[in-house]
Chains A and B, each alone.
Chain A
Amino acid sequence: MRFLMVVAIWIVIVGGLWNYISHRDAKRELIVAATPIDLTIEGQYTLEITPTFSTEQDPFALKTSDNTASSFEVKLNGNALDMNVLEFQRGETIRKAKVGGVLTGHNEIYVNASPPLSENTLEHGIRVKFYQDNTLIVDRTVWADQGALVSGTISFNHSQTEEASHDH
């Protein structure tokens, strides 16, 4: 009798615990993910990239099946920008007009490029200029030395009010 009572109490406790855990997880699934608000700003944006080096294929690139080794990469807010060239040439400015995806508030331009390994004793950089219409809103340079990839993120804040003040 006593043993049966122990088993019964045990079943009640473990069953209760199991019931609590399964319902707790079920409640979590009911939470609906918030829909991101579209903060994209309309306007004519232009990106200019000027490297101090000519890019070359990186022998240290990851070369998995769907990941072709590219010698440079440019992104705006995490979205890749097609710069319409295969390689960067030293000192040559590459312009990308009609850049979309600029957000109100925090924005990021990411650049990553492979300078020649033979120039590992030189410091290398990429100058990044970003225009709204004809107004320069970002002018920064990403540097690297000791043979590392020239890789960095340029952050800038951009707002509608700033946009308005630039118009005047």
Chain B
Amino acid sequence: MKKSFIYTLVLFCSLLYSSVIVANEVKKPIVVASTTQIADFARQVAGDRLVVKSILAPGADPHTYQPTPDDVQMVLDADLCLENGLHLEGKNWMSTLATDAGKTIITTTDGIQPLSISSGGEKVADPHAWFSPKNVAVYVNNIVKGLIQFDPDGKEEYEARATLFLQQLRVLDSWVRQQINRIPTQRRILVTTHDAFNYFCTEFKLNANNNFLSIAPVGWSTGAEVGGGMTPERRRKVIQSIKESGAPALFVETTINPKQIREIAKETGVKIGGELYSDSMGPEDSAGETYIGMMRENVILIVNALK
């Protein structure tokens, strides 16, 4: 009798435990973003309602990235995909992954008026639109619309979170202007490894001598696209521009080999001002692990080096 009571108790407890486990393991929909920035924007909107994953790891370069079998599986498991677009993802790897897996993909830069860069007689749309917080507001609105379409029940949640994030972006925009204003106008010269900072220079008025566009030895892409990579002509022009403008510092980027810019620094005698987050945010637990953190750290570094 005693034995049967113990059997009953064990059976009951194990049944109760397994039902609790099953209840806690409700599968959340998965959103897969191509880059760390887009994943951050999506997390700010989705909160814990959805699982947001990024294909690119912090520090990875979207222009030259080659998807792995794990990425293919990640997209196959996804309910919704997000990409930057404007050919940031070299050879459109994100839209190819999503199309092959039959998944819906949202191009988060839709509606942004892209900056046009002239390179080798060709016009190219600059994909680094997140360097203007106003453009990020467009990214966020596209993500909100996409998430509402995918999950209409979450509309109020998504809109509430997005409203907070948009206000943070507004304050960030204003703060960046105040900080850049600390640099004397003739010293506002931003030289970086690749042409990622056109939107930043245009929005916050740096590089007046270059029509408020980036000065960089490597083109808009580190890959082999039209206008991408480094040519001897570009390198010569950048060195000339550094000498003429009296740039106080040069900046390396977290996603690109710093060798080229270090060589130019040596050749021109200009110091390295530090390492900027550009095509990717910082690793977990770093100050640049979020978009706002990344922008804040970049601006502090730029102001300290140029003022």
Contacts and interface: CB of A to CB of B under 8 A. Distances in A.
A60 B8 contact: no
Contacts, number: 69
B11 A6 contact: yes
A6 B4 contact: yes
Given A14-B12, A14-B15, A148 B170 contact: yes
Interface string A100-129: 000000000000000001001100000000
A10 B174 contact: no
Interface residues of B, number: 29
Interface string B2-28: 011101100110010000000000000
A62 B144 contact: yes
A146 B174 contact: yes
B275 to A, nearest CB: 27
B247 to A, nearest CB: 27
SS of A interface (majority): loop
B178 A64 contact: no
A35 interface: no
Contacts of B157: none
A107 B144 CA distance: 33
Q: In the complex, which of the residues A10, A63, A146 has the most CB atoms of chain B within 10 Å of its own CB atom?
A: A63
Interface stretch (B120-128, B161-169, B265-273, B287-295): B161-169
Contacts of A14: 12, 15
B157 to A, nearest CB: 13
Given A60-B169, A60-B173, A6 B8 contact: yes
A147 B170 contact: yes
A68 to B, nearest CB: 13
Nearest to A59: B134
B171 A62 contact: no
Interface of B is mostly: helix
B54 interface: no
Contacts of A58: 170
Nearest to A121: B178
A61 interface: yes
B141 interface: yes
A13 interface: yes
A60 B7 CA distance: 63
A43 B205 CA distance: 54
Contact of B141 (A10, A63, A149): A63
A19 interface: no
Contact of A64 (B8, B12, B145, B177): B145
Contact of B4 (A2, A67, A146): A2
A108 B15 CA distance: 52
A9 B144 CA distance: 52
B142 to A, nearest CB: 10
A47 B174 CA distance: 31
Q: Which 3 pairs, one residue from A and one from B, show the smallest C-beta to C-beta distance?
A: A147-B174, A120-B174, A60-B170
